[in-house]
Amino acid sequence: MARKISVSVDHDICVGNAMCITIATKAFELNDERQAVSANPDGDTEELILEAAENCPVAAITVTDGDTGEQLFP
What are the extents of the domains in the chain?
Answer: 5-73
d(CA 14, CA 58): 7
| pLDDT for 2 | 78
CATH topology of domain 5-73: Alpha-Beta Plaits (3.30.70)
pTM, 2 dp: 0.92
Cβ–Cβ under 8 Å, residues 49 and 41: yes
Residue-wise pLDDT for 6-51, tens only, equals: 999 999 999 999 999 999 999 999 999 999 999 998 999 999 999 9
| pLDDT for 48 | 97
Burial class (CB in 10 A: 0-12, 13-18, 19+), 52: buried
